[in-house]
Structure 1
Amino acid sequence: MKWIALLAVLALLPVAIGWLRANPRKLPQVMFALGVLQFVAGLLHMYVAPISWAYWPGFNKGLEVSIVDAIAIALIASAPAGVRIAHLRWPIVLYMLCVLLSATQTDVPLPTLFYAWQLGRVILLVTAVAIACRDPRVPTALIRGLIVGLAFQAVMSIVDRAQGALQAAGTFGHQNTLGMITHFVVFPSLAVLLATKKEKWMWLGPVAGAIIAILAASRATLGLAGAGVVLLLFLSLVRRPTARKRGVAAMGIIGLAIAAPLAMTTLSERFKEIPLGGYDERAAFERAAWAMVHDHPFGVGSNHYVIVANTKGYSNRAGVIPTFGSRSAHVHNAYLLNAAETGYIGLVAFVLMLVWPIVAALRCAWRFRRDPRGELLLGLATALIVVALHSKYEWIFVTTGLEYFYAIAVGLIAAIAQQMGYWAPKRRKQPVRRRDADDASEADGDAPVAVPAGA
């Protein structure tokens, strides 16, 4: 059946490409749907795995192809050849090469290739979003789709809570996954509100994110969400203060003050059920991971942490309790997980992949301070900063769902910075020829001046 589904998707690709070429005005609607799909594709099982290792204990269990990949291919192929430009992909390529290199450190390289394939799909989505969002109508449409998807997850979180769940997870299976996803939507939508009055309903993004964060009862999600709001408001006011921004900042502070007691209530309900004891599972995981890094500075192979921790005795020596839930879990730190699996070189590449888009977004926003599109860049940069901090406490960034959201954020940064001229070649100044300078000096008595080339 999976092969039939895959062949059907491939057969429909030429039709989708032709339709997009013939209907460029529909691009905002397509990107809106792409935003919503990030929240429902897994629920509706809109992917196939030509190669599947369902019982592999790593975070990636097969060679998957999803409807999101098909849309990305259609978006790239339908664009005119002259505009198929996408920046900010090289750090992902570098990280993918480090992942591939780590396959040489294991006797079972195929699961490592599963993750490298996933990173290739991330590059594909970055490219598609960067190309499509060069159309100025598209970024806001994409963010609207993300907001609608997040609102759906907020409703599902309320349903979870009503059914007795102590930590609501929506349809993502785990509250920490959904909590990290909220960062990719809350901060860009808040940034759009800071930039314009025309998109008032984008308040739905921060409101839905607040509902999810409170019902998820995750300390990292709650704390980092509040810190991210403060950071975004600070950056925006420093970049270009306005009365509107001061008003939004005041409303944001009021919202945080209202949300704080609700958050404390859900956290107290969560932790009163946890028995007191001396076992610190997070610390035990980290001891196992550090021992792995010490013994294998080039990594043990991406997507291999759990199996190496168990078969080589690292979990046992670190004191991880011998239960299925604990022995099948990854170290709760994406940086330490990458260090253990891909070595120090892979860790550097992973950090660069997170940091480089942030640097580009902030530099572009500050270079063009009067351009309102810079506000969205600040929102995207803040989202990536918060996710980078959150990854210190969670390993889940390496999953397909989270890396798709990362790809959308990076693609948006690349597209908006391209629109604003961040990567435009600088016009060189050409000195005036000596004879022309002498003539000018004799004519008006002024010193010779440099003029731009081609002026």
Structure 2
Amino acid sequence: MRYVGIVLVLLAVPVLIVLLRNNRALRPYAYACIGVFPVVQGSLNLDASLWQFGGLGYVKGLVFTLLDALCIAILANTRFRVGNLPFVTLFLAYIVAVLLSILQAPGFFAPFSYAWQLLRAFLVFITVATVVQQQGGLRWIAIGLSWGAIIQGAVTTFQRLGGDMQAPGTLGHQNITGMVMHFSTLPLLALLLAGSRSKLYMAGVAGGFVTVALGASRGSIGFLGLGLALLLVLSLARRVTGAKVATVGVTALLIAAAAPVMLAGLEQRLSNLSQFGAVDEEREAFEKAAAAMFADNPLGVGANRYTLVANTEGYSERAGVFWGEGSRSAVVHNLYYLTAAELGWFGLVTLIPFLAWSIALGLFYTFRSRHDPRGDIVLGCTCALLAMALQSLYEWVFVMSSMNYAFATSLGIMAGCIVRMRQETKARHATRAAAHAASRKRHSPAPGVAA
């Protein structure tokens, strides 16, 4: 059956290319699927492993998904440019750092599998950025994000009713699901702040709140709250409108409605305070192991190899990581320690500037044109990036496939909006320059006429 799945997913590429080429009316639905697939394709088995290998890494093989096939089909039917997109250089630099880590590993496939996963995320980034530049493209991406958040909200509700006080959603763990929801909830709320009155977007925001509340992940709740507060404050700072005030009010009501559910989950977790002490102690042990690994291997040990090296070379044991499958098979709960250990200096000097520049450029375009509603949309994605970057001080899940897709989608929305804003600014400047030149020509004396 595995090979049947591989054939079906690969055949989806030419089939989708022809389908979208001959039926332009289907393209908006394809755009919406970009927003939905990252949160459902794993549970629905809409993917195929081209090459599988065992091991303790967070990536288990070379995977190709229906979302990848869909993005290839969309780009095959669209004129697109990569060179004019922001973030491309730093995104590719990070991928190169992952590829260079292959040189530090005895095997090829473990590090390359993460590079392959990032290349697929880069494909999604290019596709979303291209779609957003089209008329109505952003709307359909947002529809997909809304349905994805609504589905997560429904699944986590069903799980809570079944007795799971930390509902994991469709992504297998509440920390992963919670962080992925940053990239749906905040951009959708930003669209509402920008003036949209879509009830579907509001339902998506509600679904995101419910998902995070029922997951009861301390980090996801806290950093979503931080991103939400920054989004509302900065959006009002750039421009106050009646629609924004109304959106803030509705958001407050949604938070109030979700608060009892969230507190119920947190209360059960807080009932055993000694557990938190043990968890924090274990986090420190993981970070100690990663720091020692980085000190011994400044160029890294190879992507996707932290757990293997930590166990086989004694780093976990010397750092005092608890002996047990749940601990020894886990990864250091800090993206930046993980990057240092696996990718070394090359990873740190590419990932950190990549995230920092994405956030800085997003904030710049947020306030460059206060009357452009796209500034609010860029702000929503920027706040999601910032929340993810800060939460990654306590989580490693950025390296998971679903997170890479969600990150790439938000980054693509930002890139597409920024390109359109640049083009329109350039067009306005050209129009003003032409008008100024024409005015000077009208008021200048004719040749041969004395001043």
TM score, norm. by length of structure 2: 0.90
- Sort the Cα spacing of 1:277 and 1:6 in 2 relative to 1 into closer, same or farther, 3 A: closer
Q: Is the 8 A contact 2:227 2:383 kept in 1?
A: yes
Worse-superposed segment, 299-308 or 419-428: 419-428
Shift of 1:6: 2.9
Shift of 1:63: 0.8
Shift of 1:277: 8.4
Alignment match, 1:151: 150
Shift of 1:131: 1.5
Deviations 1:239-268 (A, max 9, x none): 111122123223334443454444233211
Work out the CA distance in 2 between the residues paired with 1:149 and 1:80: 28
Deviations 1:3-44 (A, max 9, x none): 343334434423322332333343221111222222211011
Shift of 1:439: 6.0
Work out the CA distance in 1 between the residues paired with 2:13 and 2:100: 33
Q: Is the 8 A contact 2:289 2:318 kept in 1?
A: yes
Q: What SS does the corresponding residue of 1:65 show, helix, strand or coil? A: strand
- Give the AA of the match of 2:34: L
Provide structure 1 residue ranges, at least 5 long, that are not aligned to the other structure: 446-455
Work out the CA distance in 1 between the residues paired with 2:103 and 2:81: 39
Alignment match, 2:416: 415
For residues 226-237 of structure 1, what are the structure 2 equivalents within 5 Å? 226-237=225-236
Work out the CA distance in 2 between the residues paired with 1:81 and 1:278: 52
For residues 157-196 of structure 1, what are the structure 2 equivalents within 5 Å? 157-196=156-195
Q: Is the 8 A contact 2:9 2:47 kept in 1?
A: no
Work out the CA distance in 2 between the residues paired with 1:12 and 1:422: 35
Shift of 1:112: 0.3
Alignment match, 1:198: 197
Identity, in percent, stands at 37
Could you say what the CA RMSD is over the residues aligned between the two structures, in angstroms? Answer: 2.7
Q: Is the 8 A contact 1:27 1:138 kept in 2?
A: no
Work out the CA distance in 1 between the residues paired with 2:426 and 2:112: 37
Alignment match, 1:452: none
Work out the CA distance in 1 between the residues paired with 2:80 and 2:235: 36
Q: Is the 8 A contact 1:194 1:245 kept in 2?
A: yes
Alignment match, 1:296: 297
- Give the AA of the match of 1:421: R
Deviations 1:167-196 (A, max 9, x none): 101121111111101101111111111112
Q: Is the 8 A contact 1:38 1:146 kept in 2?
A: no
For residues 28-107 of structure 1, what are the structure 2 equivalents within 5 Å? 28-53=28-53, 55-80=54-79, 86-107=85-106
Shift of 1:85: 6.0
1:113 maps onto 2:112 in alignment: yes
- Give the AA of the match of 1:287: K
For residues 1-20 of structure 1, what are the structure 2 equivalents within 5 Å? 1-20=1-20
Worse-superposed segment, 387-396 or 191-200: 191-200
Work out the CA distance in 1 between the residues paired with 2:31 and 2:80: 20
Q: Name the structure with the higher helix share.
A: 2
Work out the CA distance in 1 between the residues paired with 2:185 and 2:331: 27
Alignment match, 2:316: 315
Q: Is the 8 A contact 2:340 2:348 kept in 1?
A: yes
Shift of 1:359: 2.6
Work out the CA distance in 2 between the residues paired with 1:237 and 1:291: 45
Alignment match, 2:128: 129
For residues 240-251 of structure 1, what are the structure 2 equivalents within 5 Å? 240-251=239-250
Work out the CA distance in 1 between the residues paired with 2:46 and 2:56: 22
Work out the CA distance in 2 between the residues paired with 1:90 and 1:290: 28
Deviations 1:193-244 (A, max 9, x none): 1112431331112211121111111111111111111100111111111122
Work out the CA distance in 1 between the residues paired with 2:285 and 2:101: 24
Structure 1 stretches (4+) deviating beyond 4 angstroms?
Answer: 81-86, 273-278, 422-432, 436-440, 442-445
Q: Is the 8 A contact 1:364 1:374 kept in 2?
A: yes
Work out the CA distance in 1 between the residues paired with 2:69 and 2:294: 37
Q: What SS does the corresponding residue of 1:49 show, helix, strand or coil? A: strand
Shift of 1:273: 4.3
Deviations 1:102-152 (A, max 9, x none): 111121232001111111111111111111221131212111111112111
- Give the AA of the match of 1:78: N
Shift of 1:288: 0.7
- Sort the Cα spacing of 1:247 and 1:117 in 2 relative to 1 into closer, same or farther, 3 A: same
Alignment match, 1:376: 377
Q: What SS does the corresponding residue of 1:420 show, helix, strand or coil? A: helix
- Give the AA of the match of 1:265: A
Provide structure 2 residue ranges, at least 5 long, that are not aligned to the other structure: none
Shift of 1:350: 1.1
Q: What SS does the corresponding residue of 1:421 show, helix, strand or coil? A: helix
- Give the AA of the match of 1:395: W
- Give the AA of the match of 2:365: C
Worse-superposed segment, 177-186 or 150-159: 150-159
Alignment match, 1:286: 287
Work out the CA distance in 2 between the residues paired with 1:417 and 1:158: 37
Q: Is the 8 A contact 1:49 1:64 kept in 2?
A: yes
Q: What SS does the corresponding residue of 2:220 show, helix, strand or coil? A: helix
Work out the CA distance in 2 between the residues paired with 1:151 and 1:343: 39
Shift of 1:383: 1.0
- Sort the Cα spacing of 1:399 and 1:12 in 2 relative to 1 into closer, same or farther, 3 A: closer
Work out the CA distance in 2 between the residues paired with 1:381 and 1:28: 25
How many residue pairs were aligned? 441
TM score, norm. by length of structure 1: 0.89
Worse-superposed segment, 355-364 or 98-107: 355-364
Shift of 1:274: 5.9
1:223 maps onto 2:222 in alignment: yes
Work out the CA distance in 2 between the residues paired with 1:338 and 1:423: 38
Alignment match, 2:406: 405
Work out the CA distance in 1 between the residues paired with 2:242 and 2:258: 24
Alignment match, 2:325: 324
Alignment match, 2:24: 24
